[in-house]
Amino acid sequence: MPIATRAFAATAADAPLAPYGFNRRDPGPDDVAIEIKFCGVCHSDLHVVKNDLGGTRYPIVPGHEIAGVVAAVGANVTRFKAGDRVGVGCMVDSCRTCAACLEGEEQYCAPGMTQTYGSADPKGAEVGQTITQGGYSDRITVDQNYVLRIPDSLPLDAAAPLLCAGITTYSPLKEWGVGPGSKVAVIGLGGLGHMAVKLAHAMGAEVTVLSTSDRKKADAERMGAKHFLINSDKAAMKAAGETFDLIINTVSATHEIASHVNLLARDGTMVMLGLTTEGLPVYAMPLLWRRRRIAGSLIGGIRETQEMLNFCAEHGLACDIEVIAPDQINEAYARMEKSDVRYRFVIDMGRLDRAA
């Protein structure tokens, strides 16, 4: 029996998000039905709603930072039961047979992972859905293999953005072996950047934040940064040359990176995390001369995402958030475009009754 679902959706690139009703599928044998309590607001939600990346199909319900409580489970589900605290991140399925999936790297699924919203939805036909719909809604049904357990010590609201902002920064820190003695720089102290600072610090790294101004310096230091560098200060940038083993670049807009390459030590790597749609020029010589690298990273697999949640619980880490009602989402988007959030908006879906 279809599950009536209330949500906020975008119907066009130039239209505000508005109340929207649709049906979720009833949980099948391997499914978990989740009552969504909170959903984080990611900058990529804004990109998709505005069709900045092309290919957005409307109406679209964004949201891939989902925290809630299990409402029901299918007959084959053994890992979860009603009442469990759970999360859903950026994907809800993958092919499960390609090399990436078999290695627990479902985010790099060769045919393409099924994203939490905006992907073709082969399981949605029974309720008239052609694409997946996300977490700006009061419920969701997801295969048990793509559901995460949220540790009891993590508040659900502050845990929600960990399902994207947390894993997106945790994964490259782990992949590039960050630990005691590592020197890590984080470009941009926003939704991703503030978690990169917290996680790198908890892993034992010496952390530096690079920003365009010092207005977030106190926040950076509170989160664990030892140094703060203004990237327009040429003297300071020169003095910091050949310092960092790893630079986590979280900026999601077109920006200059060539000068930042010189901050890398020999064999250092800059990892790009921000969704940029234009080229970012670099020069060969600074790369060649110190065997430096520029790389990319995309969220993490299900196993690694659970590892990240457990790590955050162990170290008392969560996102700095501003909780909003569903009908404040358009105001939140406007503020996000001005970088006016510290550091992640989270929608309280329990307040949907007052909005829809």
Domains of the chain with bracketed CATH: 3-164+320-354 (3.90.180.10), 166-296 (3.40.50.720)
Confidence of residue 124 (pLDDT cuts 50, 70, 90): confident
Residue 239 pLDDT greater than 90, yes or no: yes
Residue with tokens 């007052």: 354
Q: Does position 354 have pLDDT exceeding 70, yes or no?
A: no
Render pLDDT for 170-223 as a digit per residue (tens, 0 to 9). Answer: 999 999 999 999 999 999 999 999 999 999 999 999 999 999 999 999 999 999
Average pLDDT over every residue of 16-24: 96
What are phi and psi for residue 268, nearest 5 degrees?
Answer: -75, 160
**Which of 13-22, 146-155, 345-354 is least confident?**
345-354
Calculate the average pLDDT of the chain.
95
In the numeric block, the tokens 């985010």 are attached to 107
Please tell me the pTM assigned to this model.
Answer: 0.95
Residues with Cβ within 8 Å of residue 341, at least 6 apart in sequence = 190, 191, 322, 332, 335
pLDDT digits (tens, 9 = 90+) for 268-316: 999 999 888 788 899 999 999 999 999 999 999 999 999 999 999 999 9
Q: What is the dihedral of CA 318, 324, 328, 332, to 10 degrees?
A: -30
pLDDT at 275: 81
Q: Average of pLDDT values for 232-246?
A: 95
pLDDT at 125: 86
pLDDT at 356 over 70: no
